[in-house]
Amino acid sequence: MSDTSKYDYDLFVIGGGSGGVRAARVAAGEYGAKVGLAEHDRYGGTCVIRGCVPKKLMVFASGYAATAEEAQCYGWDIKPGPFDWHGFRDRLNSELDRLEDVYRSLLDGSGVDKFDAFASLEDAHTVKLSTGETKTAKHILVATGGHPVRPDLPNADLGIVSDDIFHLEKLPKSILIIGGGYIACEFACILKGLGVEVTQYYRGAQILRGFDEEARGLIAESMRSNGIDLHTGTNIVEMALEADRNEGPQPTASDASMGASVKQAEDMRVQNDGAQAGQRGPIWVKSTNGGEKIFDMVLFATGRDPSTKGMGLEEIGIEIGRRGEIVVDEYSQTAVPSVYAIGDVTDRVNLTPVAIREGMAFTKTVFGDEPTPVDHELIASAIFTQPEMGTVGMSEEDAREQEEIDVYCTSFRPMQSAFAGSTSRVLMKLVVSKKTQVVLGCHIVAPNAGEMIQLAGIAVKMGATKQQFDQTCAVHPTMSEELVTMRDPVRTS
């Protein structure tokens, strides 16, 4: 029930992304609270406007060339033609406009007051808007998400970040991607599928740090065999616009064959003149191993920081952590009792469905009078590489540190692509507690692994044992049937 005798609102939400919008809608629609929400950019936030949704549509777009080639082996007279970036990009942007409208309508339908403005905190109950207005609320929820960051490197602004990809005037001929996380690996595969020459530098020994080693190893192997020039143990140390370099070493013939030749680079500079940032011409790059190369474009996929700048949070006593995140307790409450925070701005588990759950738990706690901590255990997720990785629970390495385990794993050429002559492999893996036989982790590398892990994740979350997996009859012929037919452990410790 609303009680706005003292304040303008029961709840004021800052940030119109997936988490903030869900919390606002539920507080207003289910609990009858009077809610205001401020968003200074587009409604839908990172996931809808510049993350998961446009990325997944690009994943679909990038898969068609290989599908067309495979179809030929299945008897179809289909030839992959050129990719029309403008046609696709315009359609993509229309879809994002439609989704943004849906988000706005959902808020309107729930009776939430929208403010298209930047919001900062004046005190524990007062929000100041960039329009000059001030609003008071009994509770304030900060759901401002995060933003991509470039490394601290001279000329780093010559590189683009993931937000920029969806607006490119044209696709580059060659790109260097820096980083080895979700975004770097996903865009390496997407852009390769769209016909871009992709080079990727990752500073560590193996991409996708933190995931199961066998699974990340297969992703790296698949990316390389798909033609991505992946260099591990390598980072960027210098970069400059090729046109601005008056002197210095030129790339060698072998370097030029991997990027573009100096002549080609000059031609491209002319073509790109006047194009947007990130397309200002070929970029010269020097790497930690001393190599020098030229790329049309550089993408920094070097992580994301929580978005808290200029919001006056610390000034009113909210604790900010080492990575710039808002520090919250298990109920998403900050050090200032009337202020809560959810989603990427808290840097807990940075995934859209988690932010939505945190928003739901917040409304239940504050408006439903039912204190509800968020369960961050055994969250399944997928990396939309080519092939995809789906994962839930512990990696073999983490599980082994905790207890003795049995590892069940199989890797094979799947029927569909093997028929077409491909040597690509998939992987199905279960990490099992030796003592309890509970499945501690499930890791899948395969086409559509994201869809598979959603379902396997239910069993793992329920605490299913290896025997219960085995009692489940196989669905034949599928790739995932291997998850219920692996009889003997490949490793045991």
Active-site residues, by number, are 476
Part of the chain binding ligand NDP (CB under 6 A), chosen from 99-107, 133-141, 278-286, 302-310: 302-310
Taking CB under 6 A as the rule, does residue 233 contact ligand NDP? no
Taking CB under 6 A as the rule, does residue 188 contact ligand NDP? no
Taking CB under 6 A as the rule, does residue 444 contact ligand NDP? no
Which residue is associated with the tokens 């808007």? 129
Burial class (CB in 10 A: 0-12, 13-18, 19+), 141: buried
Interatomic CA distance for residues 142 and 168, integer angstroms = 31
Three-class SS of residue 483?
helix
Rg (CA), the chain: 25
Part of the chain binding ligand NDP (CB under 6 A), chosen from 179-187, 217-225, 263-271, 472-480: 179-187
Interatomic CA distance for residues 339 and 329, integer angstroms = 12
Taking CB under 6 A as the rule, does residue 234 contact ligand NDP? no
DSSP H/E element including 165:
helix 162-165
Among 201, 202, 272, 276, CA closest to 243: 272
Q: x/- contact string, 272-301, with ligand NDP (CB under 6 A)? A: -----------------------------x
Taking CB under 6 A as the rule, does residue 155 contact ligand NDP? no
Task: Among 303, 312, 324, 489, indicate the residue that binds ligand NDP (CB under 6 A).
Answer: 303
Taking CB under 6 A as the rule, does residue 355 contact ligand NDP? no
Task: Among 179, 259, 306, 441, indicate the residue that binds ligand NDP (CB under 6 A).
Answer: 179
As a whole number of Å, the end-to-end CA separation of the chain is: 56
Task: Among 40, 114, 173, 203, indicate the residue that binds ligand NDP (CB under 6 A).
Answer: 203
Taking CB under 6 A as the rule, does residue 58 contact ligand NDP? no
Interatomic CA distance for residues 180 and 202, integer angstroms = 5
Q: How far is the CB of 464 from ligand NDP (least distance, A)?
A: 23
Task: Among 48, 297, 351, 409, indicate the residue that binds ligand NDP (CB under 6 A).
Answer: 351
Q: x/- contact string, 133-152, with ligand NDP (CB under 6 A)? A: ------------------x-
Q: Restricting to residues 382-411, which ones interact with ligand NDP according to CB under 6 A?
A: 382-384
The token pair at 282 is: 């070929």
Report the residue number, 180 or 457, with the smaller CB distance to ligand NDP. Answer: 180
Task: Among 216, 304, 348, 466, indicate the residue that binds ligand NDP (CB under 6 A).
Answer: 304
Taking CB under 6 A as the rule, does residue 324 contact ligand NDP? no
Among 125, 183, 71, 117, CA closest to 316: 125
How many helices (H) and strands (E) are present in the chain, helices listed first?
A: 14, 23
Give the C-alpha distances (Å, rounded to integers) separating 462 from 67, 296, 377.
36, 49, 11
Q: How far is the CB of 381 from ligand NDP (least distance, A)?
A: 5
Interatomic CA distance for residues 213 and 374, integer angstroms = 28
Point out which residues pair with 230 in neighbouring strands. Answer: 200
Taking CB under 6 A as the rule, does residue 323 contact ligand NDP? no
| In the complex, residue closest to ligand NDP by CB | 181
Report the residue number, 308 or 381, with the smaller CB distance to ligand NDP. Answer: 381
Residues 41, 65 contacting (CB under 8 angstroms): no
Burial class (CB in 10 A: 0-12, 13-18, 19+), 482: buried
Report the residue number, 77 or 152, with the smaller CB distance to ligand NDP. Answer: 152
Report the residue number, 211 or 408, with the smaller CB distance to ligand NDP. Answer: 211
Report the residue number, 211 or 469, with the smaller CB distance to ligand NDP. Answer: 211
The token pair at 93 is: 């942007």
Part of the chain binding ligand NDP (CB under 6 A), chosen from 10-18, 77-85, 286-294, 379-387: 379-387
469 Cβ partners below 8 Å, 6+ apart?
A: 430, 439, 459, 483, 484
- Judged by CB under 6 A, the number of residues near ligand NDP is 24
User: Cα 343 vs. chain centroid, distance in angstroms?
Assistant: 13
Taking CB under 6 A as the rule, does residue 204 contact ligand NDP? yes
Report the residue number, 16 or 145, with the smaller CB distance to ligand NDP. Answer: 145
DSSP state of 316: G
Q: How far is the CB of 302 from ligand NDP (least distance, A)?
A: 4
Burial class (CB in 10 A: 0-12, 13-18, 19+), 79: exposed
Task: Among 334, 381, 385, 424, indicate the residue that binds ligand NDP (CB under 6 A).
Answer: 381
Binding site for ligand NDP (CB under 6 A): 151, 178-184, 186, 202-204, 209, 235, 301-304, 350-351, 381-384
